Amino acid sequence: MTNARPKPRITRLWPVFVLTLAALALAGWWLLRSRTTNTQTAPTNETATVARSAFRVSVSGPGTLEAAQTLEVKPEVNGVVLQLPKVGEWVQKGQLIARLDPTDYQRTLENAQLALQKAQANLEALRASQASTEATGRQSVASAEVAYANASRDLQSARDDLEATQKLYDIGGTSLQSLQQAKDAYAKAQASLQTARVNLETARQSLSLKASSNAQDLKNAQLAVQQAQLEVRTAQENLAATKIYAPFSGVVAEVNGQVGSVGVGATNSNSSALLTLIDISSVNLPVQVDESEISKVQVGQKVEVTLDAFSDETFQGVVTNISPQATVVSNIAVFYVTVNIPNPQHKLKPGMTAEGEILIQEIPDALVIPKRAVQTVRGRSYVEVLQPDGTQETVRVVLGPDDGVSQVITEGLEPGQQVVLPTRSSSGSSSSSQQRQGGGIGLPVRIPAGGGR
């Protein structure tokens, strides 16, 4: 009988050994993958250098150039057009630019001048006649006054004679007939005085009435002269209006009439402009400014203007007017800010589109960092400063103005320092790092003199 030989023990342990190696390999692979993932998601610090530079706060908006002055030139009188300028012609202030046929207006002026001469002659003749009449009236009054004075003396004499005769008659010194004669003489003197009084009053009334009538006649004659003078002035103005002069220096933008056509006066409802004159020695740019920024804009602020037509040039302007009320453009409330731009070379033309940058504030040597580097907690502002050894220090700063992208720092930082910007990671797992930086947890805080905000 042959006994069976037992199998070696190692044969039974081989599967266990293989499984153990596989487990170790899997564990190593998982550890390596985990470290690689952590390396990929680990945040990297992005920094910016604190530096001095020119800084400005501005408000920008688009607009279309307009002439500083625009005038539609209309004739003041009707007439056939004899002369007109050409479109694009440059004219000087006071230059003759249009002319109407003056024939009818010259004739009207001549007639008005003749009427004035006649009215003036009538006035002079009336004055002479009234002077003569007044002299005659005054003479009549003077004669009546003399007659009245004589009658008064005669009455007094007759009274004295009657009294004397009465005394003589009373003592028998004269006859009754003599007394009666004295009485008759006194009565006659009384009648003569009454007649003289009536004549004097009549002469005076006649002189007064004549003077009143003469004054009215004189006034009417003077009014006639004034009316004639007014007609002469009107005729002169109408004649002068047949020549049209440029009210300011500029360029002829449009010519609507033509030589030989009838120009209709401005007082007529059907009147139309013969031409349009514009002044482009300076131009206006109405800039659209959003309602959220209009409070920053003030009259007198400087403006830099750029145009597509002159892409390599910047033109200087100034704010001259701010619209008092908003205008809705594409459902957005905007305010129109008028910017005046000197244009001595006449390069800028009305109708060109432009962009106006209104300079709100300028600091020639400001300490500037990116605005996103600033963290604000309870009304106080901080930045993370990267130290030479790689650590970060939370520093309290005092803020100046900003333009939405860059921030001026007035206290707390020095040029050349590195400020840490909010972390940007390659995956979405960087919130814990941002939270740490935002709150400054675990980092020392350095507060500059003067505090911060």
| CATH code for the domain in which residue 363 is found | 2.40.30.170
Contact of 250 with 280, CB cutoff 8 Å? yes
Same domain, 152 and 202: yes
Q: Does 150 score more than 80 pLDDT?
A: yes
Is 203 domain-assigned?
A: yes
Is 153 domain-assigned?
A: yes
Q: What is the pLDDT of residue 434?
A: 35
The residue ranges of DSSP E strands in 330-373, in sequence order, are 332-342, 353-370
Is 421 domain-assigned?
A: no
Same domain, 200 and 132: yes
Same domain, 145 and 228: yes
Same domain, 109 and 162: yes
**Who has greater pLDDT, 88 or 271?**
88
Tokens of 292: 């959220």
Q: Does 448 score more than 50 pLDDT?
A: no
Contact of 418 with 386, CB cutoff 8 Å? yes
Domain span at 142: 104-240
In Å, what is the CA distance from 7 to each residue of 4, 12, 200?
A: 9, 9, 186
Q: How many CB atoms lie within 10 A of CB 67?
A: 23
Tell me what the mean pLDDT of segment 204-215 comes to.
Answer: 79
Same domain, 281 and 412: yes
Query: Of 361, 451, 360, whose CA–CA distance to 410 is shortest?
Result: 451
pLDDT band at 87 (very low <50, low <70, confident <90, very high): very high
Is 47 domain-assigned?
A: no
Bridge partners of residue 251, in order along the sequence: 90, 278
CA separation for the pair 221, 122 (Å, rounded): 7
Cα dihedral 215→221→222→228 (10° resolution)? 170
Sign of the four-CA dihedral 265, 267, 271, 275: positive
Q: What is the pLDDT of residue 72?
A: 92
Tokens of 339: 């910017």
Tokens of 151: 């009658």
pLDDT band at 446 (very low <50, low <70, confident <90, very high): very low
Tell me what the mean pLDDT of segment 340-366 comes to.
Answer: 94
Q: What is the pLDDT of residue 211?
A: 77
Phi, psi values for residue 139, rounded to 5°: -65, -40
Q: What is the pLDDT of residue 36?
A: 45
Q: Which of 240, 262, 295 corresponds to the end of one domain?
A: 240
Q: What is the pLDDT of residue 234?
A: 95
pLDDT band at 270 (very low <50, low <70, confident <90, very high): low
Is 174 domain-assigned?
A: yes
CA separation for the pair 88, 74 (Å, rounded): 18
**Who has greater pLDDT, 134 or 265?**
134
CA separation for the pair 305, 343 (Å, rounded): 12
Same domain, 404 and 308: yes
Nearest 5°: the CA angle 299, 302, 307 is 115
Is 267 domain-assigned?
A: no
Lookup result for tokens 């006639």: 224
Same domain, 391 and 339: yes
CA separation for the pair 421, 399 (Å, rounded): 16
Same domain, 302 and 175: no
**How high does pLDDT run on average in the chain?**
83
Q: What is the pLDDT of residue 266?
A: 52
pLDDT band at 453 (very low <50, low <70, confident <90, very high): very low
Query: How many residues make up the chain in this entry?
Result: 453
Same domain, 279 and 327: yes
**Who has greater pLDDT, 443 or 217?**
217
Q: How many domains are contained in the chain?
A: 2
Segment among 31-45, 128-142, 151-165, 357-371 with least mean pLDDT: 31-45
Is 42 domain-assigned?
A: no
Q: Does 426 score more than 60 pLDDT?
A: no
Provide the 3-class DSSP secondary structure of residue 167.
Answer: helix
